[in-house]
Each structure stands twice: as C-alpha cells, then as structure tokens.
Structure 1
Amino acid sequence: MNLLFRIKRVLDRGLEALLVLLFFILSGCVIIQVFTRYVMGDPAIFTEEVSRYAMIWLSLLGAAYAAGKIEHMAYTMLPDSLSGARLRWHVRSVALIVLAFAASVMCYGGGLLVLRALEFEQLTATLEWPMGYIYLCIPISGALIVYYQILILLAPEHLQPQNADAAATAAHLAD
C-alpha cells in the first residue's frame, strides 16, 4: 500500500510541474498574441492554436490532479452529514462511479479517438501537428483518474485533501 502512495506522490509532483509549464505556455501565447496583434499590427498565427491545445491539456490534466487531491467534488451537504462507515461507503460509491466513467469514456473512448486520429492522419489546421497527440490527453487523464480512484477505493482515510471541507470529510472517514 505504501508503494501505491509513493507512486501517487511522484505522479502529483510530475503533474504539478506539467500543469505549471502548460499554464506558462498558455500565458506566453496569449501575451505574444496580444503584442503582435495590437503593437505589431500583424497577429502571430500559431499562438491561437497553441493556446487552445495548451488549455485543453491544462483542463484535463488539471481535472486528474484535482481528482488525486480529492478536490473534484463540489457538494458538501451529504458528506458533511455522514461519518464513519457511512461516509466511507459514500466516498467509495462516488469513487466507483468516477472510476467507471474515466475507464470507459476517457481511457477506452479516448484511446479509440487517438488511434483513429492517428490512423486517418488528422492534422491541426495551422501547425499541422497530428491530432492524435492533442487527443492523447484524454486517455492519459483518464488513466490518472482511474489510478487515483483506485487509491480512494482501497484506503480513503489515507488521502489528505487540501481544502477545509475535504479535510473535514477525511477526518470523518477516520471516525
């Protein structure tokens, strides 16, 4: 079990670094676009496409990161009213639903999408990058979410949420 959580820490650190890099790429592209459009009078063509794909990767990998930090749940009324075994059952039920979605839609369906895009040699409009590489963030994010949900199913009380509401839920899990 400790090995699984050590792997999680490594994945978390890698995702944090990648998300920061993607955010800087996105910010840089927007700044370049504004500068070339309004100062130079001739907008850079590549920045719109790069920023769009950086935003897609940032969103999906950010969702996976949030799932790993147990920050993806926005409702608190039901979990706040539960504790102990009932809360563990609820957390595991939600984790199972999220796992089923990520495995079937994101991993399987996203994997098929990547394969088809590469098979038909779909390219992006401006940069002519293979679209399969753009779509690759879907199954990667799905696989990360599946891994994080498996950890929740195995030991929800060992995960440490970052915000106060999620931390209160974790404290109730230990009851």
Structure 2
Amino acid sequence: MTRPGTLETLGRLLSRAADIVGIGLFLAAFAGFIVQIFFRYVMGTPLVWSEEFVMIAFIWTVFWAAAFLVPIREHVTFDVVYDVVSPKTQRILAIFTMVVAITAFGLLILPTIDYLDFLTRKKSPVLRIPMHWVYGCYLFFVVGLTLKMLGRLLRLFGPNWRDAL
C-alpha cells in the first residue's frame, strides 16, 4: 500500500477543516436561534442582539457551505442536454462551463475586495460589527468556488478526465 501524496493529504485536511468550520457556523446560527426563542417566549424578554447574530451566522453558513462543502457537480446545473450526450461531449461542455464560470467569478474578485473595503466604514446596527466582516464570507465564496472550478478544469484536461464529469 502506498502513502497518499502530500497534495492529496493537504486536500483532505483542508476539506476536514472546512467541514468543521461549516459545522461551527451552523451550530452558532442554531444556538443563537434557540437562545432567541427561549428569551422571547419563555423569559418574555426578547434579546436585541440575537436576531442580528443569527442573520450573520446564517449568511456565513450559506456562503461557506456553497464554497467549500457542496461538491462542484452538486451546484445548480442545467443537465437536460448534458445528461444525454456522449462523455466526450460532456467533457467539452464541462470545460466550456468551467472557463465561463471561472472568468465570471475571477472578474468578481477585485470589485468584491473594493466593496468590502468600502464596508469597513459601516457597522452592523446592534452588535456594531464592521460590515466587511459580516459580508467578508462572500469573498471566501468567490475565491473558494473559483479554485474548486479551476481544480475541476485541470482534472478535465488530465488523463482521468471522466472522473471530473
């Protein structure tokens, strides 16, 4: 039995770390929601900060999961034509799709950084968290998904391209 390559091991470690972060974000949103319900309906004293906390945790959970937890082939796709053509045609369609998506997402990176820089001057209404931290998850989403698509594109040009379909 051979030892897995360093890159493969690193990939598994990063995937596991992404899973743990995703679980933590979801648990934070869920716990905040439960605390909010408890204080509002059991204690009769709604908390001011809990709704904003849950919203921020939910935003981070959604973008983090979309970027790092959902496999690239599981994202929303238009498969009506793709599923009925030959594997070689599927490969061409997948390459075209990845090139277009990588280009589009790549073009989003600098404007996203610029907008997040603008948001450094604003704070959330209740928790007073700088808004670039609230919406910084979008940059993780754009960069993370771009890297995943780039990885799939490289696999589509490799000898085991059928595995990337």
Give the direction of change, closer, same or farther, for the CA distance of 1:126–1:51 in structure 2 (3 Å limit): same
Write the distance in 1 (CA, Å) between the matches of 2:18 and 2:144.
10
Mapping 1:1-150, distance limit 5 Å = 5-66=8-69, 68-105=71-108, 107-118=109-120, 121-150=121-150
Q: Which runs of 5+ in 1 are unaligned?
A: 159-169
Aligned residues: CA RMSD = 2.6
Q: Higher helix proportion, which one?
A: 1
Residue matched to 1:152? 152
TM-score by length of 2: 0.84
Deviation at residue 136 of structure 1 after TM alignment: 1.1
Decide whether the 8 Å contact of 2:156 with 2:162 is kept in 1: no
**Matching residue's letter, 1:109:** P
TM-score by length of 1: 0.80
Write the distance in 1 (CA, Å) between the matches of 2:164 and 2:54.
43
Write the distance in 2 (CA, Å) between the matches of 1:23 and 1:76.
30
Q: How many residues align?
A: 160
Runs of 4+ in 1 over 6 A off after TM superposition: none
Decide whether the 8 Å contact of 2:152 with 2:164 is kept in 1: no
Give the direction of change, closer, same or farther, for the CA distance of 1:71–1:174 in structure 2 (3 Å limit): closer
Quick one: percent identity of the two aligned structures? 22
Q: Which runs of 5+ in 2 are unaligned?
A: none
